Amino acid sequence: MRPQPKKPIEARGKVLGGLKPLVCIPLVGKTREEILGEAGNIPDIAPDIIELRVDAWEFVEDMAASISMIRDVRKAVGEIPVILTCRGHWEGGFKKVSDSAKFSLYRKAAEEGLVDFLDVELIYGDEKIRETLAMIANYPVSLIVSSHDFEKTPPKEVLFSTLAAQIRAGAHVAKLAAMPRSEEDVLALLSATLLVRREYPDIPLITMSMGGIGAVSRVTGGLFGSDLTFAVGSKASAPGQIPAADLKQCLSVLYPL
């Protein structure tokens, strides 16, 4: 039995924090045609959840076009849960997007019930996170508070404190990704994940070590308390992601349900 949160989150029949980690496919197309093409592949890939990376969209600053795109993706993927992410350019986002466009789109998508999770970076601070929590309080949407380091892996103590800060800020889900420079860095991330799971037993976690060295964390992270792992669908959104079919086969060995 892997270490699970005491308060898992259910979204459209999928459980974040259940008996095995969910497999998430990012959609990273730039144009309407590319995005719909990726969405059209989702039924064949059959992920547990998808992440819609709107920071890749050429038209993301156009509210009408963006919300229409999210509606079309929702139709295409049916009842698969959706994480709506506009990743900040300072943390690996595809391009710079105004906060006005980002949070207006978040609000509208939540109001219409089009998505199930929103991702907001910890660096925004407690006040902005509280505002976002208030914004979604009346909707069935959960908040992921995230941190990403594409250059290095901080010490285990810093990894722990970052995840703890996300939880204290009110995260429904705490997320951390870091780039390892050594095998020890991967072990540090897995160890910090397990420590946070023990110290904060309620909250679902998403953690990963990126790049080739860190790929093992995408397979085994669930054994240390991570509740979701990202895989390649049509295109990767971060270094070290594993093709979905290969990842699901690995997970079937670790979690033979």
C-alpha angle 172-175-177 in degrees, rounded to nearest 5 = 175
d(CA 241, CA 232): 6
d(CA 243, CA 59): 28
Choose the catalytic residue: 20, 102, 156, 175: 175
Choose the catalytic residue: 20, 148, 156, 172: 148
Contacts of residue 142, defined as CB under 8 A and 6 or more positions apart, other chains included, come to 9, 11, 16, 116, 117, 118, 136, 172, 173
Q: CB of 219 within 8 A of CB of 242?
A: yes
Helix (H, G, I), strand (E, B) or coil at 205: strand
- Our answer to whether residue 20 is catalytic in this structure is no
- Our answer to whether residue 89 is catalytic in this structure is no
Structure tokens at 85: 């992410």
Residue 247 burial by Cβ neighbours in a 10 Å radius (0-12, 13-18, 19+):
buried
Catalytic residues: 148, 175
